[in-house]
Amino acid sequence: MTSATEYLWFETPERRALVNITDRLETIVSKSGVREGMCLVSAMHITAGIWVNDEESGLKQDLLEWLERLAPAADYRHHRTGEDNGDAHLKRTLLGHQALLPVTKGALDLGPWEQVFYAEFDGRRRKRVVVKVLGE
């Protein structure tokens, strides 16, 4: 079995952002030499997630608005610790923190419209994503 690990770093200027990382993942998979296997993509911060969906601006805005309705900026108990990002933790919980993607014939095996996004809910500081490619 072959394995490869790389890290993607992000520091978004805005508090909330969706960053398409599909091309970067394809490069990592290609470089790994894995022909058949899996690519794990995992946000390594508790206020960020990974989302697989369509690269369509309306859908991305709909997602951010939906998450805001479910976990609005509010006065959370978490804020008693001196933080102000309780909603970001909840948004990450709703969206999820990782995706496991198939690798077939040396490339990500995504559906026709699928793209992979880093979802930031408490930006303006440096964060990372681990990408681990495993297979033969």
In the three-class reduction of DSSP (H, G, I as helix; E, B as strand; rest coil), residue 63 is classed as helix
Read off the pTM.
0.96
Alpha-carbon span 27 to 30, nearest angstrom: 5
* CA 55 to the chain's CA centroid: 14
Contact 16, 121 (CB under 8 A): yes
Per-residue confidence (pLDDT) for residue 20, from 0 to 100: 98
Provide, for the chain, the percentages of residues in helix, strand and coil under a 3-state DSSP scheme, each rounded to the nearest 5: 30, 40, 30
Q: Which residues of the chain have pLDDT under 70?
A: none
Sign of the torsion formed by the C-alpha atoms of 6, 40, 110 and 11: negative
Domain 2-7+14-75+83-135 matching CATH 2.60.120.460: the answer reads yes
Per-residue confidence (pLDDT) for residue 84, from 0 to 100: 93
